[in-house]
Amino acid sequence: MTDTPYHDITGRGPVLLLLPGGAGHPMGLGPLTERLATRFTVVTCDPLGLAHGRLGLPVAAQRVADWSEGARRVLDAVAPPGEPAYVFGTSSGGIAALDLLARHPERTAHVVAHEPPCVTVLPDGAARRAELIEQLEGSGRLPAEGESATPMGVFLARVLRPFTAYAPAAAPPPGRLTLAAGADSRGQLLYRTTEALAGRLGSALAEFPGGHLGTLDHPVDFADRLAETLRSNARTSA
């Protein structure tokens, strides 16, 4: 894959790349994006083009590296060379954000990864991953018209398994990563995963509004918390 992935741009200010969860479809992120656009140039990535006319077309099995390299190409297209950008990813998008930071730290000013489902970092990670896959596949059965007909279908068939097998290989440069977990996720698998990942990588852990879908359920408060986190780290690293 060499083409620049589909993306949308809105707002003014420092560049903030958004990497949505699931299959990368940015559905429901409008209120979050609008709030962030008052302070940032928000670049919302759509790695599979599902919001740009490609929903329903065949989708190959996805690789984390393809999403992170696609994100890097988007940054190369929208941000001046040598100017690192802020990056936020949630769920599977959080995994892509972690891999982008690992592969191209020079392109990232600070990364916030919200509840990335890297469950294999847990001591019983293999069992927890199997349970998570079973739970999600059971609650989001594929539509009768085919696995590529909905974003959830694409996620279950092409994203869920390869992405939940991912774990960062090395710690990022100091002060460049914040792991975010939803306050309403306390005690749940992905909160524990985020805690374990922060400890493993030596990164900050922050609580954000809501649960795993906090970007959708509390978009204004979530956007404000994200902006505060990025501003704080900009001051720290200045």
- Quote the CA–CA distance of 216 and 1 in Å, as a whole number: 30
The pLDDT value recorded for residue 238 is 45
- What is the pTM (predicted TM-score) of this model? 0.95
The pLDDT value recorded for residue 147 is 79
Q: Dump pLDDT digits (tens) for 188-219.
A: 999 999 999 999 999 999 999 999 999 999 99
The pLDDT value recorded for residue 143 is 47
- Quote the CA–CA distance of 159 and 153 in Å, as a whole number: 10
The answer to whether the beta carbons of residues 121 and 132 sit under 8 Å apart is: no
Tokens of 161: 């398994």
Tokens of 223: 């956007």
- Give me the residue spans of the domains in the chain: 6-233
Sequence-ordered list of residues with C-beta below 8 angstroms from that of 100, at least 6 positions apart, any chain = 19, 68, 71, 72, 87, 107, 108, 111
The answer to whether the beta carbons of residues 237 and 175 sit under 8 Å apart is: yes
The pLDDT value recorded for residue 2 is 64
- Quote the CA–CA distance of 70 and 63 in Å, as a whole number: 11
The pLDDT value recorded for residue 141 is 53
The pLDDT value recorded for residue 236 is 58
The pLDDT value recorded for residue 237 is 54
137 burial via Cβ count (<10 Å: 0-12, 13-18, 19+):
middle
Q: Look up the CATH number of domain 6-233.
A: 3.40.50.1820
Q: Pseudo-torsion of CA 120, 177, 69, 227, nearest 10°?
A: 120
Q: Which residues of the chain register pLDDT less than 50?
A: 1, 142-144, 238
The answer to whether the beta carbons of residues 142 and 153 sit under 8 Å apart is: yes
